[in-house]
Amino acid sequence: MKTLIKNVNLINPYEILFGYGVVVNEDKIVEINIEDNIKIQDIDLVIDGKGNFLVPGFVDIHNHGNTGFDIMDRTEDALDSIGRFHLQNGVTSYLGTVITSSHENMCNAIKNLADYKNKRGLSQLIGIHLEGPFFSLDKKGAQPGKYIKNPNMEEIKQILNISKDRLKMVSIAPETPRALDIIAYLKSKDITVALAHSSASFEESEVGINYGATVATHLYNGMREFNHREPGIIGAVLLDERVYCEIIYDRIHLHDAAVKIALKLKGTDKIVLVSDAMMAAGLCDGTYELGGQKVIVKEGRATLETGNLAGSTLNLRDAVYNMVYYLNIPMKDAIRMASLSPAKAIGIDKYKGSIEIGKHGDMILIDKDINILGTMVMGKWIPHSN
């Protein structure tokens, strides 16, 4: 089936092209052209963008669930519901993030993710992000402390085997015993390594980066505090050009000034917007769970009973909106931080993250206020009611 989305302002990826059209054949983009130059004789479906913006589908590489479901629920229905909510908010691809738990629970969740078959009309589960359990207990945040342990190569190899090649990213504290061996091993398997929940010094962090780590998980959060005599992990990841930095921009996890500092040091190409959403995303305030722990959500702020932040209720549409309307970031740059930058961070930018010929037909139609008018995922068009 051939689909034309016409009469759009195309954001792709460093400029805005006005009055363009995009043709998708089955699941691939096959033509991008000035609208008047596109032949419509063999087009099966024509969608009029009415002068709105056509942008790449968002890619969320760090999220734990939404709409009352958790990645750790280990059911097909949970992943269906999670994917449905993602798509409503412009996320056409995501990594299912497995939180620290017992080895058995983590393996079962990974197996469920590995066995899951993507469905047309839902956001595509493109892999697994293992967030834990090899962290610093001092910086555990909302990770269940009783399951945090030192890195274990045999466990990683078992997880990699269970994942059926769907393991895309592993978060780890680089200062923990044998962490460097695991970082080097994962890099050799083309798996992205992220530094997270860490008390690492500046030097320890740099060593981890030299061994192959290229992402900082939720920058500033779950990290040794910056100090002018010991910049620590925050100083290392902000200064090293090899590292992408995740940002949870719900205006709860981070002060606007902290986000501005990261943007100045990293540039928009190296900032990755993530939701770090938990099961309360898309629902009202109340009591929920994350990793078997009680989470209280009040005014959209998710915390453990201890007061520690416990994920978020954010979605990437709102993160992009916040960048544009609170920090005055150009729309094209905010969009890139939610699409091409995360795709590059996990090595899938050859087929996702931007609207280019040969890439997957993953796109969203938005207005100037980032309201989502329609979504295309793998070539299937899904109109939105708003």
Domains delineated in the chain:
2-55+354-383 (2.30.40.10), 58-345 (3.20.20.140)
Tell whether residue 228 is among the known ligand binding residues.
Answer: no
| SS3 call for 236 | helix
CA dihedral of 9, 275, 70, 124, whole degrees rounded to 10: 30
* Entry pTM: 0.96
pLDDT for position 297: 96
* Average pLDDT, integer, range 41-63: 95
Is residue 276 annotated as a catalytic residue, yes or no?
A: yes
State pLDDT tens for residues 238-262. Answer: 999 999 999 999 999 999 999 999 9
37 pLDDT band (50/70/90 cuts)? confident
CA distance 349 to 327: 26
pLDDT for position 38: 82
Query: In the predicted model, is pLDDT for residue 103 greater than 90?
Result: yes
pLDDT for position 58: 98
Query: In the predicted model, is pLDDT for residue 385 greater than 80?
Result: no
Percent of the chain whose predicted confidence (pLDDT) is above 70: 100
Token couple for 370: 């980032």
Query: In the predicted model, is pLDDT for residue 69 greater than 80?
Result: yes
Tell whether residue 222 is among the known ligand binding residues.
Answer: yes
pLDDT for position 13: 83
Q: Which one is predicted more confidently, 1 or 184?
A: 184
The mean pLDDT value of the chain amounts to 96
Tell whether residue 338 is among the known ligand binding residues.
Answer: no
Tell whether residue 4 is among the known ligand binding residues.
Answer: no
Q: Calculate the CA 182 to chain-centre distance.
A: 23
* Average pLDDT, integer, range 104-115: 96
Q: What is the CA radius of gyration of the chain?
A: 20
384 pLDDT band (50/70/90 cuts)? confident
pLDDT for position 292: 85
* Average pLDDT, integer, range 355-370: 97
- Judge whether 319 and 250 are in contact, CB under 8 Å: yes
| 300-327 exposure pattern, b = at least 16 Cβ within 10 A, e = fewer | bbbbbeeebbbbbbbbbbbbbbbbbeee
CA distance 108 to 104: 6
| SS3 call for 28 | strand
* Average pLDDT, integer, range 168-179: 98
* Average pLDDT, integer, range 146-150: 96
Percent of the chain whose predicted confidence (pLDDT) is above 90: 93
Catalytic option among 60, 240, 250, 276:
276
pLDDT for position 12: 85
* Average pLDDT, integer, range 278-287: 96
State pLDDT tens for residues 286-327. Answer: 999 998 899 999 999 999 999 999 999 999 999 999 999 999
Tell whether residue 221 is among the known ligand binding residues.
Answer: yes
Token couple for 13: 């990826």
Tell whether residue 253 is among the known ligand binding residues.
Answer: yes
Tell whether residue 197 is among the known ligand binding residues.
Answer: yes
* Average pLDDT, integer, range 154-165: 96
Token couple for 273: 């917007």
268 pLDDT band (50/70/90 cuts)? very high
Tell whether residue 317 is among the known ligand binding residues.
Answer: no
pLDDT for position 45: 93
CB atoms within 10 A of CB 144: 18
pLDDT for position 36: 78
pLDDT for position 282: 96
pLDDT for position 386: 56
CA distance 6 to 34: 9
- Judge whether 39 and 255 are in contact, CB under 8 Å: no
